[in-house]
Amino acid sequence: MKVVLINGSPNGHGCTYTALKEVEKTLRAEHIETEMIYLGNKSIAGCIACGFCVKNGRCVQEDKVNEVREKVMAADGLIIGSPVYYASAAGQLTAFLDRLFFSAAGRFADKLGASVVSCRRGGATAAFDQLNKYFTISNMPIVSGDYWNQVHGNTPEEVQQDLEGMQTMRTLAKNMAWLLKCIEAGKAAGVPLPQREEKILTNFIR
């Protein structure tokens, strides 16, 4: 069982990383393999709606999107971490996720998903809701903690002082590990995945 964690902050070892590292440490203690991916601090272009990925199974723009998509498809869970900018996720991460999920064309279905946000003071729940929408449109069960998955602080040291936030990270990780083990046990017992209907698209303007 493996979980991919995406650090969507331009700061490679900042507050978002500190939160994700607590999640990763707990997952590993639960014997779950992990891989943390840092997107970097360079610009990531948004989707250009060219349709290339629909025909070719990969994005026309050759950057981390194609690499990460293959890793997520091979994993059992995905955790996305982001700082909060203007009550939303980082723009670089949003551009990345738009292309990642669109080019995957529904192939993340049945993988567990969770999001983690880091803020100095406010806007965390709006960013948290934004990130979770990538999962809910993709047939991905969302893993929760015992509070919204957020930490507060302006530096990694301050985040570590947010004892409730760090506990929420550990709870999230334990819940994900438990659900992964339950799914694994279900597969061994012959419990089938949900039957998918053929997708129906309804356009309101005809």
Q: How confident is the model at residue 10 (pLDDT cuts 50, 70, 90)?
A: very high
| Structure confidence at residue 127 (pLDDT) | 98
CA dist 148 and 171 (Å) reads: 11
pTM (2 d.p.):
0.95
Q: What is the mean pLDDT of residues 5-20?
A: 97
Span 41-98, pLDDT tens digits: 988 999 999 999 989 989 999 889 999 999 999 999 999 999 999 999 999 999 999 9
The pLDDT of 8-36, averaged and rounded, is: 98
Q: What is the pLDDT of residue 205?
A: 85
> What CA–CA distance (Å, rounded) separates 169 from 96?
23
> What's the pLDDT score for residue 204?
87
Please check the confidence at residue 206 and state whether its pLDDT lies above 80: no
Cα distance between residue 172 and residue 116, in whole Å: 9
Give the pLDDT score at 121.
Answer: 95
Over 90-126, what HEC string results? CHHHHHHHHHHHHHHCCCCCCCEEEEEEEECCCCHHH
Longest dimension (CA), the chain: 56
pLDDT for position 57: 86
Percent of the chain with pLDDT over 70: 100
pLDDT tens digits for 97-140?
A: 999 999 998 899 999 999 999 999 999 999 999 999 999 999 99
Q: Which residues contact 61 (CB under 8 A, 6 or more apart)?
A: 45, 48, 99
Domains present along the chain, CATH in parentheses: 2-188 (3.40.50.360)
